[in-house]
Amino acid sequence: MKIALCNEVLADMPFDRQCGLAAALGYDGLELAPYTLGAEPHRLDAEARKRVRQAARIAKIDIIGLHWLLVSPKGLSITSPDAALRRKTVDVMRGLIGLCAELGGKVLVHGSPAQRAVAEGQALQSARALAIESWAAIARDAERAGVTYCIEPLSRDQTPIVNTLAEAADIVNAIGSPAVRTMLDTSSAGLSESRPLAELIDEYVPSGLIAHVQINDRNREGPGQGDDRFAPIFAALRRNRYAGVVSVEPFIYRPDGPTAAARAIGYVRGLLEAGEGNP
């Protein structure tokens, strides 16, 4: 499996420096938050896309995909009762699918909790149905682009729309596209799931439903910066022959982004190299 870093951790520096530092720290790839590339990342011009690819190539680091998909442009929603706004949002999603493929990425992670909120006076089931409709609308686009679009279960403090792997799996199965999967975010799962994460990996990785993993502590810092244990998670991933990417995604950077990134990769590589993640 490859270890990647979510690039917003280093967003205070130019992209070429992000690539160079992540590679120097020992990451295999970067998972890009599109908003770090511009206000309308789905419309990034050809020259800008070329510069992103070139920076990664020079640093010898992979661009593995995209996450935080709907932060920019502002005001998007997959659950809004406003049909025109949902169509605009789906168009952005389609544009990001194309961007991901063109940059060499293979996976998109749809978290974006604010953009799947329940509007005032809106029934939860109505919002959920509109979200599913939006995800289903991009399935063929993802298939044609050769990428995997992951519906991310998020903790209940962020959104009431899809909080567990079981809920996400039901949606994935209903959509019925090989390009629409789910993923495991260890912080959200640690807050929302009732079972140990290793058990969930044992259940969902063999089925192919989990196509991506993000690791972070329930305290929202990086792995190794809180009380959560990650050795059982890596053991389960190896036991189930997970061959995808594990991305480091802290939300709190202590004491700063570069140091948090360095501490996380040291912790993860230590687990893997010491064999603590072996079954």
pLDDT in tens, 41-100: 999 999 999 999 999 999 999 999 999 999 999 999 999 999 999 999 999 999 999 999
Task: State the average pLDDT for the chain.
Answer: 96
Asked if 108 and 149 touch (Cβ cutoff 8 Å), the reply is: yes
CA dihedral 224, 34, 67, 98 (to 10 degrees): -140
* pLDDT for position 86: 98
**In the CATH scheme, what is the code of domain 2-274?**
3.20.20.150
* pLDDT for position 175: 98
| Residues in a beta bridge with 107 | 65, 148
d(CA 129, CA 27): 38
From the list 107, 98, 102, 77, the residue with the least C-alpha distance to 6 is 107
CA angle in degrees (0–180, nearest 5) for 128-139-37: 90
Residue type at 246 in one-letter notation: V
Residue 180 has pLDDT above 60, yes or no: yes
Q: Six-digit token pair at 88? A: 């605009």
Residue 172 has pLDDT above 60, yes or no: yes
* pLDDT band at 277; cut points 50, 70, 90: very low
* pLDDT for position 275: 67
Residue 278 has pLDDT above 90, yes or no: no
pTM (predicted TM-score): 0.96
Q: For the segment 209-254, what is each residue's pLDDT rounded down to a tens digit?
A: 999 999 999 999 999 999 999 999 999 999 999 999 999 999 999 9
Q: Six-digit token pair at 91? A: 């168009």
Domain ranges of the chain: 2-274
Q: For the segment 142-161, what is each residue's pLDDT rounded down to a tens digit?
A: 999 999 999 999 999 999 99
Residue type at 192 in one-letter notation: S
* pLDDT for position 279: 41
- Local structure of residue 119 (DSSP, 8 states): P
* pLDDT band at 274; cut points 50, 70, 90: confident
Asked if 182 and 173 touch (Cβ cutoff 8 Å), the reply is: no
**Alpha-carbon Rg of the chain, whole angstroms?**
18
* pLDDT band at 264; cut points 50, 70, 90: very high
Q: What is the mean pLDDT of residues 33-41?
A: 97
* pLDDT for position 267: 97
